[in-house]
Amino acid sequence: MKDSPYFEIRLESLGGLGANLCGKMLGELGVKYLGLNGAVFSSYGSEKRGSPVSSFIRWCDGEQEILINSPIREPDILGIFQESILKKYPWPDIRKMPGKMVINTRMSGEELEKNYPWLSGTVYFIDGISIGMQTKSRINMIMLGTMFKALEDEELLRGQNILEIGQKMVEETVGKKYPDLLEVNRDGLMAGYAMAGKRVLKSEHQAIPTESHEKWLWGYANAPIGGVNPLAGSMASNDLSASRNGYMPLFDETKCIHCGLCDTTCPDMVFQFKKGTYKGKEQMVNRGLDYHYCKGCLRCVTICPVNALVVGKEAEHPSPEWFTPDKDLVALNIHWTEKAADGYITGESYLTEGREEAGVK
């Protein structure tokens, strides 16, 4: 039995995915549109892309008051904005598995159950990145739609049509501030609702076990050769691909005229300019991108005058999904040096100074 007398939702996310806004919209939905009392706050550190973000939403009957404002530790619904967050389990300040989870993942319900046997309760899952690429909507709106799916049979809502009410809220909030973005957001919301999968997991509702997630760490036995990080734009422990909404810029060095426009345009200093020669003259030359800082805005692609930068699909490049303990590690070591489906190599390591100094390109 949970201690709190409130209906509680907790969102776990990474900076850049819009969980804070999603939390605010859920709070507004409760208070302004469902006649409940509510409280919302988010917790985040440096507000940088990829840093952890949690958002806490409490609802209760309109007659009741909310008397606490501490983080939610036993949520009724836990929203996971990117599946890689599950790998960071156990979360130290969540005491029990919630009855319901909403997860942005490419996995099916069956795959989730197999890969995360400690999950329990009912899981609603949605492939937010693929839907985002189709609808151009951000992940937070797609997750909001899937949240509505998870909420619709909750006693607190007493048979209210949450999808209809939620659509009205989006029309009034997004429509007023950003009318041009209304259609895209509405599409994302509807797709998040309609395309969500649901799976009731076999394991019983249980306390979170204390086993560590060490099996996910790399060591001498399973690290790729040379200790490189072959994940394009992500860390070994942090999959940031969702914040790029499925797209990434790709660089063709042979077309580059080293004009520096991409560097001036990029808000995150992704481009690596070093001393070199171009057309026989010594100058700073563009050595490519450090994807760890890239948020996928694609302004660099728009500005490049010679198409040395083009749009690529992140899914076609090495992704953390490959780095699970079951995978063939030899194949994995080979893969990072191979070209992806679009012919580009995006492994970080080929750009590092050490490798360049050693004469390895």
| Chain contacts with ligand SF4 (rule: CB under 6 A) | 249, 256-262, 265-268, 270, 286, 289, 294-300, 303-304, 306, 308-309
CB of 122 to ligand SF4, least distance (A): 37
d(Cα 235, Cα 84) in Å, to the nearest integer?
11
Burial class (CB within 10 angstroms; exposed 0-12, middle 13-18, buried 19+) of 155: exposed
**How far apart are CB 304 and ligand SF4 at their closest, in Å?**
3
Calculate the CA dihedral of residues 112, 114, 120, 124 and round it to 10 degrees.
20
Contacts (Cβ under 8 Å, ≥6 apart) of 290:
270, 271, 272, 348, 351
Choose between 296 and 347: whose C-beta lies nearer to ligand SF4.
296
Cβ distance to ligand SF4 smaller for residue 290 or 321: 290
To the nearest whole angstrom, how small is the minimum distance from the Cβ of residue 109 to ligand SF4? 33
Which residue lies nearer to ligand SF4 by CB, 258 or 317? 258
Pairing between strand 197-200 and 247-251? unpaired
Nearest distance from C-beta of residue 274 to ligand SF4, angstroms: 12
Which residue number, 208 or 297, has a Cβ lying nearer to ligand SF4?
A: 297
Q: Report the residue number, 211 or 268, with the smaller CB distance to ligand SF4.
A: 268
> Which residue, 98 or 347, is less far from ligand SF4 as judged by CB?
347
Shortest Å distance, C-beta 224 to ligand SF4: 24
Of the two residues 297 and 329, which places its CB atom closer to ligand SF4 in the complex? 297
Q: Which of 206, 216, 209 has its CA nearest to residue 87?
A: 216
Shortest separation between residue 143's beta carbon and ligand SF4, angstroms: 23
Question: What's the closest the beta carbon of residue 266 comes to ligand SF4, in angstroms?
Answer: 3
Query: What's the CA gap between 103 and 94, in Å, rounded?
Result: 16
Q: How many CB atoms lie within 10 A of CB 43?
A: 11
The smaller minimum CB distance to ligand SF4, of residues 93 and 268, is found at 268
List Cα–Cα distances, 300 to 260, 271, 286, 294, 305, in angstroms.
10, 10, 13, 10, 10
In this structure, the dihedral spanned by the alpha carbons of residues 100, 102, 108 and 114, taken in order and rounded to 10 degrees, is -50
What is the C-alpha to C-alpha distance for residues 225 and 220, in angstroms, rounded to an integer? 9
Q: Tell me the C-alpha to C-alpha distance, in Å, between residue 183 and each of 12, 24, 191, 245.
A: 26, 20, 12, 18
Three-class secondary structure of residue 131 per DSSP? helix
CB of 46 to ligand SF4, least distance (A): 17
For helices 182-194 and 139-151, angle between their N-to-C axes, nearest 10 degrees: 40
